[in-house]
Amino acid sequence: MTELTELTAVQLVDGYRKGEFSPVEVTRAALERAERIQPEVNAFVRITAEEALAQARESADRWRRGEPAGLVDGVPVTVKDILLMRGAPTLKGSKALSEKGRWDEDAPSVARLREHGAVFLGKTTTPEFGWKGVTDSPLSGVTRNPHDPSRTAGGSSGGAAAAVALGAGPLALGTDGGGSVRIPAAFCGIFALKPTYGRVPLYPASAFGTLAHVGPMTRDAADAALMLDVIGAPDARDWSGMGPSAVSHQGVLREGVRGLRIAYSPSLGGQVRVQPGVSAAVRRAVEHLARLGAYVEETDPDLTDPVDAFHTLWFSGAARVTQHFGPYQRELLDPGLREICGLGARYSALDYLAAVDVRMDLGRRMGRFHESYDLLVTPTVPITAFEAGAEVPKGSGHRRWTGWTPFTYPFNMTQQPAASVPVGVDGDGLPVGLQIVAARHRDDLVLRAAHALDAVTPSGS
């Protein structure tokens, strides 16, 4: 019999409906798993066991009456400690913030999950203010990879990815401003979707502006589609949010990839050096897509690395986060964050607008590209997980995390939907992720292709 912690959200809801097990049993199992993994991987900043069990008992009563509250009633979920969750402090990995406060408001995505009966296990780790592509912070320490604890889980949603990978809840809420759901998904061997900007409302607004997306982190595309149907509902607090989705994301999954035009770019035209193990796993998955009836062409988008413009936008956002901090608070910051805040504070309005110009031109070029191709496929990251506690791999020559994430942050600049799908492991047994990108508002195509890959590469094997 499959352990309860290994079941997907779709399987849990089906089991509740059939009376095979209860939300209380499932929540107890998930909490036990969370407590067991915490000393080694450090996925959580707070486990809310009493609250979760109370929510589970209420869910069990609803299921007994045949009146579930919604699509994920009784399903355990975790929330990255960037997003507000009623009843728990949101400290964002920072010692510079205080626990004092009412903490009586949910972020929109959390509110939608609560309305649908989800069970909240707790808050997951993040680097300070989600500023980098690995997860360690002055507040909560280092989060480690579930496949090799000497290595990083990635970031900035590293705790969420580790929790899902190890069975501490099948659903996790993450945020992604430059790859922050996709990077840890690739390193930890799970699925993650950065939806089209605005598809999932965000409040309070991110200091990183319209680079920041909220997205589901799950074991597979089917669970992500289920979760997106819940959290993708409008919320009046987000002035830039989209209206209701025209489709059920669960409903489109089985349409497959037959006839879709897929551009496969193994290295963005030779701009990126990709580890052989990563290249091989991604290419095998692309060949699967072709066998499933997609038209695959090896080609590259008209994309030169926009890293300088991204840094202007990102570092300016970091400076804005800490603008009102005094000297004592600044001393508490992660030294790397303190450094980029200093850089960001020196940019002018003209520098920022020049970066916006680069962003708009990149969006135009990707829009034209998707007139010819439904999907773009790349590696999610060109490497597998490296040593924990470091921003960049030792000996890489990179200065910042963006040096080893060239496939992810461009699509935050363009606001396109992008997912990381687990497609196997390298020679050291470390997970490899494949990235699927579509035109804005075509989250359905990303999920269809990911679901097709799940069927032929289960669990990324």
Please list the active-site residues: 80, 156, 180
Say which residues have a Cβ less than 8 Å from residue 45's Cβ, sequence separation at least 6.
81, 91, 93, 122, 123, 124, 125, 139, 140, 159
Q: Which two tokens stand for residue 32?
A: 């036990």
CB 159 within 8 A of CB 198: no
Q: Which string of b and e fits 22-47 if b means at least 16 CB within 10 Å?
A: bbbebbbbbbebbeebbeebbbbbbb
> What are the beta bridge partners of residue 437?
376, 418
Strands (DSSP E) contained in 219-307 are 261-264, 295-298
| Residue whose token pair is 């209380």 | 24
What is the Cα–Cα distance from 85 to 79, expressed in whole angstroms? 8
Residue in 400, 413, 435 with CA at minimum distance from that of residue 274: 435
What is the Cα–Cα distance from 426 to 14, expressed in whole angstroms? 34
CB count in 10 Å sphere of residue 16: 23
CB 426 within 8 A of CB 275: yes
> What are the beta bridge partners of residue 375?
262, 438
Q: Which two tokens stand for residue 255?
A: 């349409």
3-state SS class at 308: helix
Q: Which two tokens stand for residue 31?
A: 């909490």
Q: What is the DSSP string of 99-112?
A: S-S------HHHHH
Q: Which two tokens stand for residue 114?
A: 């609560």
Residue in 417, 441, 458, 451 with CA at minimum distance from that of residue 193: 417
CB 256 within 8 A of CB 448: yes
What is the Cα–Cα distance from 415 to 405, expressed in whole angstroms? 17
Strands (DSSP E) contained in 331-444 are 375-379, 418-425, 431-438
What is the Cα–Cα distance from 404 to 133, expressed in whole angstroms? 9
Q: Which two tokens stand for residue 304?
A: 């030169």
The burial of 177, by beta-carbon neighbours within 10 Å (0-12 exposed, 13-18 middle, 19 or more buried), is given as: buried
